[in-house]
Structure 1
């Protein structure tokens, strides 16, 4: 495990890839709010796992705090927007964030 962590922390292209992936969910949310037909709720896992990878790879706290708070703001904003459909969306969002490829029992 230490070799894998050392590999991903020393390679610049891995850091750039994770940093770019960290901005995918906020961009998708902005596209959705702009009128795109994309169902952004299915991509909550991108925000969760890119935030986790950011916390593992980067060592500076400012990058960690910025990326995690940016993704959290957009996830919470989308959950609040989708709360008009019912409160089970909260459990569905957690399910889609952690286990994205299993069928969601809440919708």
Structure 2
């Protein structure tokens, strides 16, 4: 699962890079328009995932402002990472 999360974060980073480059130096033709729509959709969906992140983990973790950047940048892969951390904490025997 950890390799899947890392690979997803790498892919997501590359996607953000392409979307930001397209904003700064638009690609030719309809590709630029499609990428702008994709950027808007991505920002909206990742914002929704930050809301999910807050709802799921605010009771179990002391969240700071910087903790919300990771779910916005990496989306579901950060949600999976925090979920995995929470499950491993719950499975540890308590003394």
Normalization by structure 2: what TM-score? 0.37
Larger Rg: 2
Report 1 or 2 for greater relative contact order, CA contacts < 8 Å, sequence distance ≥ 6. 2
TM-score normalized by the length of structure 1: 0.35
